[in-house]
Every structure is written in C-alpha cells, then in structure tokens.
Amino acid sequence: MSEDNIEAEPLYCAYCGVAEIDELKLKECAACDLVRYCSDACQKNHKSQHVEACKKRAAELRDELLFKQPESSHLGDCPICFLPLPLDKQKSNMMTCCSKVICLGCYYANHKRQFEGKLERKCPFCRKPAPSTMDEVDKQTMKRIEANDPIAMYQEGIGCYNKGDYSSAFEHLTKAAKLGDVEAHFELAGMYHYGQGVEKDEEKSIHHAELAAIGGHPTVRCNLAYHEERNGDMKRAERHLIIAATQGKWKGRQEVLAAALRAHQAAVEETKSPQREAADEYNRKLDSMRSP
C-alpha cells in the first residue's frame, strides 16, 4: 500500500480526548507544538499537567529559530545592484525620500552619471529630486514617519538618542521594532541593559537581542556570545560566534578561529563589486585632498 493511501492518524484534545472531525477543529497550544485542544476550558484545565513540557518545548523551538543560519545580514541587499549591503554603515546611504539604503557603489555610479551628464541630482532608487537643505531632509523624514516607515522611525530614534533624549529615542525605537526593524531591536537591547529611557531589565534586553539575532544582526550575536560565556555555556557562545562570522562580523574565540575565519572571508567577498571599489577609490582621493 502506498503512503498516499494511508490515512493520517486522527488528532485528539489533550484534556478530554475528543477527536478532531470536520465540524470540530482543534487548536494548537500557542507556545508549543505538542498538544491540541477543543476549547479554551480544556486548555485551562490541562495547564497544570502540560506546563513543564510546554516550557521545555517552547525553549527548544526558540533555539531552533535563534540558531538557524540567516540567509543574509539584517541589512539585506542593495535594491539597485542586489549585492549584500556592507556591514560598515559608512559604505551605504539611506535616502530620506524613500528610506531605501543604497550601497556607495551604486550611489557613486549614479552621482558620476548625473555629474558627467549635467543632470539634476535625483535619488538613485525612486528618482525624486535630492533635497538641497536640512529642512527638506527633515520634512521627508517626517513624511516617512507619518507613513509608519520603520527605517525612518529608527533613524529618528537614533537622532534623539545621540542628542541625549532617551525617552523619545525609546518611543521611536519601540515603534520601529514593532514594525519589524531589526536595528531597533538591537538598540532597545542596549537601552534595557543600561537603563536608558527605561528601567533596567536584563530579561527584556536579552529578548530584544535575540529578536535582532534572529533577524540577522551579526553584532548582537557577539553580544549574546559574551552573555552565554559569562553564564558558562561555551557551546551556545561558539554557535553565536560562528553565525556572526558567516555574516561578515569577526569577533571570536581562538577555538572557532579556523572555521569562522573562512566563513567571514566568504561573507566579505559577497559584498564586493567594481562599483563599490570605484566608490572607495573616489573617497580615498577625496580624503587625500582634504589632508593638510
């Protein structure tokens, strides 16, 4: 008999034992995938029997998610050349008109094309005219914030943070994090850790740090590795460090140097392009001209 002809084993409510049928659909435990219930009453009555197994399985599921190798860093790809964005934020620009982060290679190529063709300066992505004053930049940023743009909210939060306005920074970063911004989770982890704009809470700090790590943030992986090392769990620490290295972030212990270094070099190579190398050369020439 083929596997297709074998009927699936029926599902049962973990408390009362009623089977799932067409008219009755059982709902899975919200925290784990071990049991199902026919009603809220059954789930409530079964809680004392299930709580320990539920916590254990929920932790296992969380670790599966936490230590899954991300496809790329939290920065993603440049929307123009589609290469991974460099981890060095000095090598990319955020366009205030559309909140797109453009690598310097594409930004420089667009700037060169416009300069040589005596064209109007426009955004390399959305083609809107480039702002000429800081007032225009601020207006564009506020417009993006009003549209619930998480990147714009994050940028505003960082601006408030740098001014020492931690309460406003926390408010903007919290909104950005709720909208899925990974960088915002990373910053919130630090604010909860140091008690900036919010009461110190190490549990919430680790919660946001892990969400940032799941989102592909390599720096926070290093922070989590040091946290695990302080707690005496070297195996978890090394797993964090290796994932960080595969994303191009290198801070590791001697034990994982060989494997992680190879992964780090491969990640760095993926971010290279002729346009980005031309942009680096252009910036080096500018720096040499500025030097006394």
pLDDT tens-digit series, residues 219-266: 899 899 889 988 888 888 888 888 887 776 654 444 445 555 566 666
Q: What pLDDT shows up at residue 264? A: 60
To the nearest 10°, the Cα dihedral for 281, 287, 288, 289?
110
pLDDT band at 113 (very low <50, low <70, confident <90, very high): very high
- The model's pTM: 0.74
Calculate the average pLDDT of the chain. Answer: 87
Distance, CA of 100 to CA of 94 (rounded, Å): 6
Q: Give the list of residues 6+ apart from residue 253 with CB closer than 8 angstroms, or none.
A: 237, 238, 241
Mean pLDDT of 122-135: 93
